[in-house]
Structure 1
Amino acid sequence: MLLVLGGVVVALLVRLFVLDSFFIPSESMENTLLIDDRVIVNRLTGDIDRGEVVVFHGWDGTPTIKRVIGIGGDHVKCCDAQNRITVNGVPLDEESYLNPDDFPSQEKFDVTVPEGRLWLMGDHRAASEDSRAYMKNGFHGTIATGDVIGRAFALYWPFSRISTLPVPETFAKIR
């Protein structure tokens, strides 16, 4: 009995402080994540980096999931002559995650991300209300790193789509 109770307490502590589950409510992250997919979120992420998929308290306060494109100090711009988003002058090759029916962005923007903040975009840009939609707020569409709930690192439901959510290679080139 004591062993079972101990197991339940450990499971609750892990659920409260380390891992969480999040369901995908919209098409804004397609085709990476589909409506009603479920992901596992690591609440103990440490520093958030470019390319990670994160769950955060959105601009309206509700839990939201998007990909980090820029971190504090980054210069994020749309678009270069080849219609690519650039971060610190480095063009992103977004083919591995961008919805195949989308452009990198139909809206032009040129933002320097304030320290302690993140520039976030959905993978289905035409269906994503992301940093671009809030550029006129006091923080140019960015969210505070403190608003991040955690990093989504695995898709676990439906079982037919189980996979990890790695950082795309294109982000390794950015300094």
Structure 2
Amino acid sequence: MGMQGRVAGRRLGVTAVALLVLGALLGCVGGLGGYFFMPTKFVPGGHMRPTLATESSVTFNLLTIKVNRGDVVLFDAAAWGEQHQSVERVVAVGGDHISYTPGDRTLTLNGQPLDEPYVLNGDPVAGSPAFDVRVPRGRLFVLGDNRGNSADSRFRFEFSQSGTVPLSDVNGTMVDEGDPLLVGLRSGALVGVAVLCAGALLGAVSLRLRRRAAATAVHPAYAGLVPPPGT
């Protein structure tokens, strides 16, 4: 009984340690990746409708390496003389030529009409003044999807170069809630918590078994004084 208790307790203890280590790894990787580096932020206002509902919560990938046209980005609005973070869509990157002539039905990007199926009411020029911008290298021309209600690059010429924002001020890009990486990381964090709990439970059982085995064990010096079972 005593030896069996010690062996069972030892095996459970080893399993418990393995589960605790695995749970900690899953929790750390999933938690840091899925929540710290891909946080969910509150976006006030309705300038990104219909893509983002008014005052909605959005997840951003803060480890973004490259920003492309069409990306919805979270950036520091300091270039526009404001002390907060803003969310807009990138419509032109460094080297692009973006323009609008009153009367046109679309913006023009590098000499071609820009197709923007994401804008509110299918109107990409709503409330837009005329502009003609060659985007400087390392900067972005950003607009809201609700063009009739967005204080974006079109109205920031007096604050920064052609109303653009520096690429270095971008903090992250929007991530869809169904993104496989996001789902995987956050699921991993939850699994990690469950594994940690299982490891802690097995550890407690292991400790109990080993203590019980130690309490019932017979010291070798007294082995001959203990009558055998059934006598």
Question: TM-score over 0.5 for the alignment?
Answer: yes
Corresponding position of 1:50: 69
Corresponding position of 2:141: 119
Corresponding position of 2:158: 136
Q: 1:6 offset after TM fit, Å? A: 3.7
Q: 1:120 offset after TM fit, Å? A: 0.1
Corresponding position of 1:65: 87
Corresponding position of 2:41: 22
CA distance in 1, matches of 2:160, 2:55: 32
Q: Quote the RMSD (CA, aligned, Å).
A: 2.1
Equivalent position SS for 2:121: coil
**What CA deviation, in whole Å up to 9, does each residue of 1:105-137 have, x standing for no partner?**
421110111100000000001111111121122
Q: 1:101 offset after TM fit, Å? A: 7.0
Q: Which of structures 1 and 2 has the bigger CA Rg?
A: 2
Equivalent position SS for 1:120: strand
> 1:90 is matched with which residue: 101, 112, 123?
112
> 1:9 is matched with which residue: 28, 39, 43?
28
> 2:125 is matched with which residue: 97, 104, 107?
104
Structure 1: stretches of 5+ with no match in the other structure: 157-175
Corresponding position of 2:181: none
Equivalent position SS for 1:140: helix
CA distance in 2, matches of 1:155, 1:135: 34
> 1:152 is matched with which residue: 165, 168, 174?
174
Q: CA contact under 8 A between 1:78 and 1:86: conserved in structure 2? A: yes
Corresponding position of 1:172: none
CA distance in 1, matches of 2:136, 2:75: 17
CA distance in 2, matches of 1:91, 1:125: 16
| TM-score normalised over the length of structure 1 | 0.78
The amino acid that maps onto 2:129 is: E
**Structure 1 or 2: larger strand share?**
1
**Structure 1 or 2: larger helix share?**
2
Structure 2: stretches of 5+ with no match in the other structure: 1-19, 179-231
| TM-score normalised over the length of structure 2 | 0.60
Q: Which gives a bigger RCO, structure 1 or 2 (Cα 8 Å, sep 6+)?
A: 2
**What CA deviation, in whole Å up to 9, does each residue of 1:47-104 have, x standing for no partner?**
211111111112313121111011001111013763310111111122x211107451
Identity %: 34
Q: CA contact under 8 A between 1:22 and 1:41: conserved in structure 2? A: yes
Q: CA contact under 8 A between 1:29 and 1:124: conserved in structure 2? A: yes
